[in-house]
A and B are shown apart, each in its own frame.
Chain A
Amino acid sequence: MAGLMVGFGHYTHAIVRGIPASLAKEALRSSQSEVDVVNARREHEAYVEVLGTRLGLEVVELPADESLPDCVFVEDAAVVCGDTALITRPGAESRRRETEAMKGALKDLNLNIVEMTDENATLDGGDVLFTGREFFVGLSKRTNQRGAEILADAFKDYAVSTVPVLEGLHLKSFCSMGGPGLIVIGSSEPAQKALKIMQQMSDHRYDKLTVPDDLAANCIYMNLPNKGHVLLHPTAEEFPESVKVFEKLKDHMLIPVSNMEKVKVDGALTCCSVLINKKGNI
């Protein structure tokens, strides 16, 4: 019946958040670049459109908060698996309050909320890779051991392995799931090394899909009724070579989603939504 760990990629709901004008100047970023908020919003609208209209998810859209320039990147504020939602404690001080709205939205969805209250713990959802069988948590500038421990506590059924993130912002800055047992990974050395570690740590075997660009390795995989395998990936405009690789995935419905503006503030595709599966949970 309600078997555990079944239905990887099944989602019914998505939580997203608007882009505040403050994103342009105040959002954290690793490179100095100007963000065009208008373009970013247009981009984000298209993204939400794909989730809601095209894929049929029920989208919960939280309002932007000008005092939280990074709030559009909701992924970092919560980790949802099954019927449990872990409200994180983001590594960046300026982002801590982003969790408040997120917590409210998740509560409304009747999820079991687990909060990370330990003041020594930090965790960004962007460092959490859930493969359907286990978690990998990147230990990065934003996520520490304690945060990972709390995550492990919240999701006891699964193995939680830590992976050092030596370069890049988050673990998922260079990888993501491309399907059940399929890890999309960038080709940079740190990315490949991280993959090796993940493979070593796992009891399971994963296939890998290596793409030339690390940033292109951040995709959103879903397995939806009537649609099968769906993969949201960056556009050919941004990463032509990587897209060629995605196009080899014959079984997937491939949906290119532009992310040119948000990437300037280190936002990737997965960053902009929290996906939830309300069915199938007890």
Chain B
Amino acid sequence: MTTESGTDSEAKQPQENKETEKAKAAAEPTSPQNQPEQLPAAAGHSTPARTEQERQEEDLVSHRSSTSRLSRSPLRGVKKVKIMQCKVTLLDGSDFTLNVEKRAKGQVLFDKICDHLNLLERDYFGITCRDVENQKNWLDPSKELKKQIRTGPWNFAFNVKFYPPDPSQLTEDITRYYLCLQLRDDVVSGRLPCSFATHTVLGSYTVQSELGDYDPEELGSDYISELRFAPNQTKELEEKVMELHKTYKGMTPAEAEMHFLENAKKLSMYGVDLHHAKLVGSLYECLAPAEGEDSEGVEIMLGVCSSGLLIYRDRLRINRFAWPKILKISYKRNNFYIKIRPGEFEQFESTIGFKLPNHRAAKRLWKVCVEHHTFFRLVSPDAPPKKFLSLGSKFRYSGRTQAQTRRASSQIIRPAPLFERSSSKRYNMSRSLDGAPIMENHETLMKDSAADGAAKVIAKGDIITTVTTEKKAEEEKAEQEDAQMDAVEMPEPMATTPLRQDTKSDADEDSEMRTQTQDEKPAGEGTKEEVEPKVTEAAGYLVKYVVDSIATDLATSSGPHGISLSTTMDDDVFMDGTLREVDEKTPDSQEEVSERAEMKVSPGAVRQEVSQAISDKKGTLIILKEAEDKVDTEGKETSAADEEEAPVVPGEAEAGENEMLSKEKEYIKEDMSVVLEAKTTVVKTQSPTMEIKTDDMTQIKGSGSPKKAMASWISEGVKTDASEVIGVSTKQVKEMKTFDAMQQKAEIFTFVKEVQTEQSKSSLTQITVSESSSTSLSVSTLGWVSSSEKASAEPEERAVVATETEAAPVESTGPTSLDAVEVGTKEMPVVHTETKTITYESAEVDTNGDVDPGVLLSAQTITSETSSTTTTTHITKTVKGGISETRIEKRIVITGDTDIDHDQALAQAIKEAKEQHPDMSVTKVVVHKETEITPEDGED
């Protein structure tokens, strides 16, 4: 099946670049819609988008050269491209065979299929493939196909992944047609149970859609039995269908499909993805146990849908957790956990655990949750500026939200495509669309996945036999890759979170998904006003944000309960401290604020924090809306800044979250994890000054094995100054310390609150003090290019700017934290690991130089995660000497194996950061790599 292809223009390029391009190519051409979205981004940028890319690529190169670890990255100039033949079962039951490069990413295949189908509204769809256990898994568009298919032929199925709650909002009939095909299969296979009456109604519309008006002459009297409408189709059903069909004369296929969907969407199991599980641990109060029954170990089904997570016991819904109710989703080994926001009457969060059949199932469920949450909840309806949109277009399919896709599809201008609907033949074969035999028994439905899987096994038995141990091992790896993600935050969509977070990071074994509460933010807004009087009056603009929340991810957590609260350190655990946003406000309000903050502490082997500096020149702008409200803040707003930030405020009270996501590649090696941290600092200046700093840090660390040998950090910092301006950089305080402290205390939620409160207070205090602080100006003209050069030249020269060890997580949390100015990186090396950090900065602007923190207007941290990465975004706004600066620091942790090109990941991260904040520059990149000293290291 593999063949060589001649010279491929792409092949000549270094692989990283190639991949990047491919990904890009895949994403861009794919949907015309993307273009409009990208434009704004480019426009807002000081430099042409293209140039940016190039620069990034350069960066990549330099990075690579600088790091020995990178040596493993793919060879350049490889000309041979392996081509794989893929067989894709389409929704109408037909097979579509096509060739793709072996190294191609999922997106490439997906796009080809969509092109073939003439489908523009693609984001609702996805590609599935069967794993060894014959379970359906969604292909990750951003990952290479070969890594997702460990065994057997490359067989896939094209399916609906996100069922739109309101199909009438789809733009094109063709999209609805494909959705109908999926639903017909769902119904016939029994996955979507419905009553007899509903079967007849749905069946009648199907007939009308496929065969047109009832015409006994042409159709004959038995025409209907050729079609399948139900798992167990009876003559009576067929007669009823026919009766209804007769009444539809004149109805067009598109109308019939619309009616079909209007009925189907009301079914309770519409779009619900079911997973087998058992209850673990304590019973949530709402769960209704049968009398005298212990809830432990009860067999249930978890259903993931657009609105949240449903819990079924047999056919009964015993609980439901809407996305806003869920604070965190995580999995560890074969356990899956959800942390629930305290209800009206509850004081504490509760965590509910479920045991899945195996680790893969837990991971699969987790991923599906992350994806659904992202897709359906992340962008608020009144989404902000286009800039945000631009984010979406860059992202992979899995990251594009429903809101974004709707917006995009609203721009579809092509005439309605003509397409054939003659798919009835497929029903003659006794197989469902996905190739599984049709189950005649409804009753099995709730057990769908299992039943389905079994069916598949039979069908593809040959594949299974081919599995070898080795492959399994590989799969494990793959799993890990996927699993890496630890935590994903779930920001409430409502909040004006324009950003998407679809970061995934994989943790070795478990992952967490976090939901950010919007509540946190809202408070801030209100509070701010209170603060204003004081601050504003004095300095003219002081608004402060205090960061309170801390999120920690654990890769490995001990014990079922360990995930969010445990402070234990596990060798294998990766810890990540994230700050959550706390709102600032007056001291008084702080308490409230702090309450909202959440903390996660994870026992990680390594925890790192990056500190970042933020400089602001007119603080006002940055303050977002609040600023506006306040004193007329100096009035000027930086365009970029406003747009980005403003949305936050406008949102609802809850709004306020800014999330930035960066996507990373996932790399995972069995034992090693690479942590990439990228910090981006954005500075907005009022009038003339503008400064942007970005710090990216990559950390590679070995986790997996108890021995983590060494960790090296490489950090690069590039600082660029926006053209206009003079940047004043202030060092912002980022306190690892704080975090640490908080984490320690984090064990109990309550504690956290306290801590946070403390912090916020302290920070406030600080602010006042700092007001008078001087301002330092720095003009940096270095673009990415320069930065990259530096990087390449002497990557390691720049030594560790600031590395802190977090042996003892506790550091002074109080006021001190604010004061501390950190270069940018604080690390806590793990005992077994050695850490090196190198920071490159384009400009001399150093945080260090500036002792004066300036006035901290606000600070907020957002964490998001994808399967492979954890992204922590810390946004700080400071006012110093009349200049406000906004810094956005992103810390991206990538856990992966050496197979992955870290450089590319870094480049990607940088690129994304830039795309997200077109008007800001990247000022600093810190790469931290932690490597294990084991033999494996040598490979790299």
A contact set with B: CB distance below 8 Å: 1-5, 82-84, 112, 133-134, 137, 139, 144-146, 148-149, 152-153, 155-164, 196-197, 200-203, 281-282
Pick the residue among A145, A157, A161 that contacts B198 (CB under 8 A): A157
Best-surrounded residue of B196, B248, B443 (most CB of chain A within 10 A) = B196
Contact yes or no, A162 B317, CB < 8 A: yes
Q: Which residues of A contact B320 (CB under 8 A)?
A: 161, 200-203
Contact yes or no, B195 A156, CB < 8 A: yes
Tell whether A82 pairs with B197 under 8 Å between CB atoms, given A3-B263, A162-B316, A203-B307: yes
Tell whether A161 pairs with B315 under 8 Å between CB atoms, given A3-B263, A144-B290: no
A-B contact count (CB 8 A): 102
B contact set with A: CB distance below 8 Å: 193-198, 200-201, 240, 243-244, 247-248, 259, 262-263, 266-268, 286, 288, 290-291, 305, 307, 313-320, 322, 325, 343-344, 442-443
Cβ distance A53 to chain B, nearest Cβ, rounded Å: 31
Contact yes or no, A282 B317, CB < 8 A: no
Q: Can you identify 29 A-B contacts, CB atoms within 8 angstroms?
A: A1-B201, A1-B244, A2-B197, A2-B201, A2-B244, A82-B197, A84-B197, A144-B290, A144-B291, A145-B313, A145-B314, A146-B290, A149-B315, A152-B314, A156-B193, A156-B194, A156-B195, A157-B197, A158-B268, A160-B315, A161-B317, A161-B320, A163-B288, A164-B288, A200-B286, A201-B286, A282-B201, A282-B243, A282-B244
Cβ distance A171 to chain B, nearest Cβ, rounded Å: 12
Q: Which residues of A contact B318 (CB under 8 A)?
A: 161-162
Q: Which residues of A contact B247 (CB under 8 A)?
A: 1
Contact yes or no, A162 B197, CB < 8 A: no
Cβ distance A188 to chain B, nearest Cβ, rounded Å: 15
9 tightest A-B contacts by CB?
A: A159-B268, A152-B315, A145-B290, A161-B317, A156-B193, A162-B288, A164-B288, A201-B320, A149-B314
Best-surrounded residue of B286, B317, B343 (most CB of chain A within 10 A) = B317
Contact yes or no, A157 B290, CB < 8 A: no
Tell whether A112 pairs with B263 under 8 Å between CB atoms, given A152-B314, A197-B286, A282-B244: no
Q: Which residues of A contact B194 (CB under 8 A)?
A: 156-157
Q: Which residues of B contact A161 (CB under 8 A)?
A: 316-318, 320
Cβ distance A150 to chain B, nearest Cβ, rounded Å: 9
Q: Which residues of A contact B443 (CB under 8 A)?
A: 153
Alpha-carbon distance A169/B424, docked complex (angstroms): 52
- State the main secondary structure of chain B at its contact with A: mixed
Q: Which residues of A contact B314 (CB under 8 A)?
A: 145, 149, 152
Pick the residue among B193, B240, B266, B316 that contacts A148 (CB under 8 A): B316
Alpha-carbon distance A3/B325, docked complex (angstroms): 32
Cβ distance A277 to chain B, nearest Cβ, rounded Å: 12
Tell whether A282 pairs with B288 under 8 Å between CB atoms, given A2-B201, A83-B197, A157-B266: no
**Other than the known A2-B244, A4-B266, A203-B305, what 20 A-B pairs have Cβ atoms closer than 8 Å?**
A1-B247, A1-B248, A1-B259, A3-B263, A4-B198, A112-B196, A144-B291, A145-B290, A145-B316, A146-B290, A152-B315, A155-B195, A156-B198, A157-B266, A161-B320, A164-B288, A200-B286, A200-B320, A200-B322, A200-B325
Alpha-carbon distance A200/B248, docked complex (angstroms): 39
Contact yes or no, A282 B200, CB < 8 A: yes
* Beta-carbon nearest neighbor of A145 in chain B: B290
Q: Which residues of B contact A164 (CB under 8 A)?
A: 288
Alpha-carbon distance A157/B270, docked complex (angstroms): 10
* Beta-carbon nearest neighbor of A148 in chain B: B316
Best-surrounded residue of B315, B320, B322 (most CB of chain A within 10 A) = B315
Alpha-carbon distance A156/B315, docked complex (angstroms): 9
Pick the residue among A82, A159, A160, A203 that contacts B195 (CB under 8 A): A82
Q: Which residues of B contact A82 (CB under 8 A)?
A: 195, 197
* Beta-carbon nearest neighbor of A141 in chain B: B291
Contact yes or no, A153 B244, CB < 8 A: no
Cβ distance A230 to chain B, nearest Cβ, rounded Å: 25
Q: Which residues of A contact B305 (CB under 8 A)?
A: 203
Contact yes or no, B201 A4, CB < 8 A: yes
Q: Which residues of B contact A84 (CB under 8 A)?
A: 195-197
Contact yes or no, B288 A281, CB < 8 A: no
Best-surrounded residue of B201, B268, B313 (most CB of chain A within 10 A) = B268
Q: Which residues of B contact A160 (CB under 8 A)?
A: 268, 315-317
Contact yes or no, B267 A157, CB < 8 A: yes
Contact yes or no, A157 B244, CB < 8 A: no
* Beta-carbon nearest neighbor of A138 in chain B: B288
Contact yes or no, B315 A5, CB < 8 A: no
Alpha-carbon distance A40/B201, docked complex (angstroms): 44
Q: Which residues of B contact A149 (CB under 8 A)?
A: 314-316
* Beta-carbon nearest neighbor of B307 in chain A: A203
Q: Which residues of B contact A133 (CB under 8 A)?
A: 266
* Beta-carbon nearest neighbor of B205 in chain A: A1
Cβ distance B376 to chain A, nearest Cβ, rounded Å: 12
Alpha-carbon distance A162/B287, docked complex (angstroms): 8
Q: Which residues of A contact B195 (CB under 8 A)?
A: 82, 84, 155-157
Cβ distance A204 to chain B, nearest Cβ, rounded Å: 10
